[in-house]
């Protein structure tokens, strides 16, 4: 079989069309990897810039050290560092914010929306290595595998080969191995190589890169299996090409689109704009309520001179009550938005089994660290940090305190620590095993079907 594979390598290498296909594929991969690496570099630079300027002392000592100003206005900018393999897959990175401004009042992310990229880019998806893997790779597998044996059978070469002491299974396996290597080698080496050169690669990077490689190869094996099965039917090369193009459309394009449509119909998503409007209305309503009490207070104390220390504290308490109302209303709006989002995700997770592309997308993004899992974790940690922030500042705000340098230094701080590779590996284990089972089954059925191949 290996001798046949070596021979097939030579034959395929001498084929101009295959050479062009591989060259275009390689260029596409280089471009996608280069764009991904440049984007990751920008993310690192931005993160470094803000991380350096972070903290409550940012802006210098001339800023007010009043507790309410720090707690409610200046807040803390919680930053999500670039994902471990963000150079390979942008994933949800163009939809979810990688920073959250934490104040005692709110987590300012839902309504800001300024993280979201150009809608056209979000709608069409980014051109990254994951896009090449998920959509172009299957198409190219079909492009060089639609004619495994059909033309050789029609021309008679296959009969010449099979008149030698060799089995058809070995001939086909040799052809498939070469095709798999020709596409998988650049597909794995170029993006991972570019990412490794441009990313500070640690142990976690290489573990994730290994998982990425396994997932990519398993995904590819599914499409090779489909190609094998169609070839084994014994039809001519044009018929194979037509059938395989239909299969690609069905599983990579139409299937995911139908799933999205189904989800949108079953759980229509309130738009972010609508959520932002609701949030603003809720904030305004609560502010007006609180404002009345504060207005009454100011009427009673027209000049700051006669307020006194107790008056300041009373004023701070009223402000805190108003902020609490605003926060509660905002949380309600966010909870509705997130609940609907969660329903969508759960349904999408179930329906993704209809398309290997959807399953693989979930797996690859999770490995890259750009799936919703990491953003949810970031938000949960930011929310938990907000509790600490509130707990630290609330008594000081009510006391209308001004922070001493020691108190500033002792204030809670946030630094996101990425989870290790193990939890991600556990999450992707089941979908990866599912993909492997499908791939093995398709290949086994394909080779079995080849037993009845008419020469």
Partner 1 sequence: MIEAIDLSKSFGTTIAVDHINLAIKPGEIFCLLGSNGAGKTTTINLFLNFVAPTAGVARIGGLNVVEYPLETKKKLAYIPEQVTLYRNLTGLENLRFFSRLAGAAADSDEELLGVLTQAGLTADQSRARIASYSKGMRQKVGIAITIAKGASALLLDEPTSGLDPKASNDFSTLLADLSGRGVAILMATHDLFRARESGTSVGIMKHGRLVETLGTAELGHRDLEQIYLAHMKD
- Pairing mode, strands 107-108 and 99-102: antiparallel
Q: Which is nearer to partner 1, 95 or 168 (CB)?
A: 168
Which of 77, 166, 235, 239 is in the footprint of partner 1 by CB under 8 A?
A: 166
Reading the block at residue 397, the tokens are 């705000």
Report which secondary-structure segment, H or E, holds 45: helix 16-53
Stretch that binds partner 1, among 7-15, 123-131, 200-208, 307-315 (CB under 8 A): 7-15
Structure tokens at 261: 């449509």
* 333 is a site residue for partner 1 (CB under 8 A): no
Per CB under 8 A, 20 contacts partner 1: no
Q: Which is nearer to partner 1, 1 or 269 (CB)?
A: 1
| Residue 417 or 454 with smaller CB distance to partner 1 | 454
164 lies in the site for partner 1, by CB under 8 A: yes
Q: Does 17 bind partner 1 (CB under 8 A)?
A: no
Residues 6+ apart with CB under 8 A from 450: 168, 169, 172, 228, 231, 232
Report the residue from 123, 163, 265, 417 that binds partner 1 according to the rule CB under 8 A.
163
Q: Is residue 169 within the footprint of partner 1 (CB under 8 A)?
A: no
Question: Is 162 a binder of partner 1 (CB under 8 A)?
Answer: yes
Question: From edge to edge, which strands make up the β-sheet containing 99-102?
Answer: 76-79, 99-102, 107-108
Q: Which stretch binds partner 1 (CB under 8 A): 113-121, 149-157, 282-290, 412-420?
A: 149-157
The dihedral region occupied by 255, where left means phi > 0, alpha psi between -120 and 50, and beta the remainder, is alpha
Residue 236 interacting with partner 1 (CB under 8 A) = no
Q: Is 313 in the site for partner 1 (CB under 8 A)?
A: no
Q: Which one of residues 1, 9, 11, 193 is an interface residue with partner 1 (CB under 8 A)?
A: 11
Is residue 449 close enough to count as binding partner 1 by CB under 8 A? no
7 forms part of the interface with partner 1 (CB under 8 A): yes
Sequence-separated (6 or more) residues with CB below 8 Å from residue 168: 162, 450, 451, 453
State the DSSP string of 185-248: HHHHHHHHHHHHHHS---HHHHHHHHHHHHHHHHHHHHHHHHHHHHHHTT--HHHHHHHHHHHH
For the record, the structure tokens of 78 come out as 């919680």
77 near partner 1, judged by CB under 8 A: no
First CA to last CA distance, the chain? 20
Total Cβ atoms within 10 A of residue 181: 12
Q: Residues touching partner 1: how many (CB under 8 A)?
A: 20
The answer to whether 10 contacts partner 1 (rule: CB under 8 A) is yes
296 is an interface residue for partner 1 by CB under 8 A: no
Residues forming the site for partner 1 (CB under 8 A)? 3-4, 7, 10-11, 14-15, 155-157, 159-167, 455
């Amino acid at each position: 079989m290996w001798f046949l594979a070596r021979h097939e390598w030579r034959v395929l290498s001498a084929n101009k069309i295959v050479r062009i296909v591989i060259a275009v594929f390689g260029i596409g991969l280089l471009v996608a990897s280069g764009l991904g690496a440049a984007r990751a570099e920008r993310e690192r630079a931005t993160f470094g810039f803000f991380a350096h300027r972070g903290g409550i002392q940012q802006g210098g000592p001339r800023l007010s050290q009043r507790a309410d100003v720090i707690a409610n206005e200046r807040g803390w900018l919680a930053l999500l560092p670039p994902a471990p393999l963000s150079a390979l897959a942008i994933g949800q990175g163009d939809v979810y914010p990688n920073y959250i401004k934490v104040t005692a009042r709110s987590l300012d992310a839902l309504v800001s929306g300024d993280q979201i990229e150009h809608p056209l880019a979000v709608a069409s998806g980014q051109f990254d290595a994951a896009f090449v893997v998920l959509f172009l790779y299957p198409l190219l597998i079909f492009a060089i595998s639609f004619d495994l044996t059909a033309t050789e059978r029609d021309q008679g070469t296959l009969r010449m080969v099979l008149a030698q002491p060799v089995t058809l299974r070995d001939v086909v396996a040799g052809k498939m191995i070469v095709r798999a290597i020709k596409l998988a080698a650049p597909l794995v080496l170029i993006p991972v190589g570019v990412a490794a050169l441009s990313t500070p690669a640690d142990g976690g990077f290489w573990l994730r890169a290994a998982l990425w490689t396994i997932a990519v190869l398993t995904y590819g094996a599914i499409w090779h299996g489909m190609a094998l099965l169609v070839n084994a039917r014994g039809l001519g090369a044009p018929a194979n090409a037509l059938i395989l193009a239909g299969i690609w459309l069905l599983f990579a394009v139409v299937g995911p689109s139908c799933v999205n449509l189904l989800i949108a119909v079953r759980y229509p998503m309130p738009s972010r704009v609508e959520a932002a409007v609701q949030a603003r209305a809720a904030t305004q309503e609560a502010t007006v309520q609180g404002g009345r009490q504060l207005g009454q207070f100011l009427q009673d104390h027209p000049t700051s001179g006669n307020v006194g220390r107790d008056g300041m504290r009373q004023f701070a308490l009223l402000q805190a009550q108003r902020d609490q109302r605003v926060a509660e209303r905002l949380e309600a709006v966010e909870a509705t938005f997130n609940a609907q989002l969660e329903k969508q995700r759960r349904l999408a997770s179930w329906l993704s089994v209809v398309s290997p592309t959807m399953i693989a997308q979930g797996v690859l993004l999770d490995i890259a660290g750009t799936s919703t899992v990491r953003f949810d974790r970031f938000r949960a940690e930011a929310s938990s940090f907000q509790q600490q922030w509130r707990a630290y500042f609330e008594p000081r705000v009510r006391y209308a305190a001004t922070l001493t340098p020691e108190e500033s230094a002792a204030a809670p701080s946030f630094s996101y620590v990425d989870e290790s590779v193990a939890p991600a590996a556990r999450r992707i284990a089941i979908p990866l095993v599912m993909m492997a089972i499908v791939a093995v089954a398709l290949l086994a059925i394909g080779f079995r079907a080849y037993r009845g191949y008419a020469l």
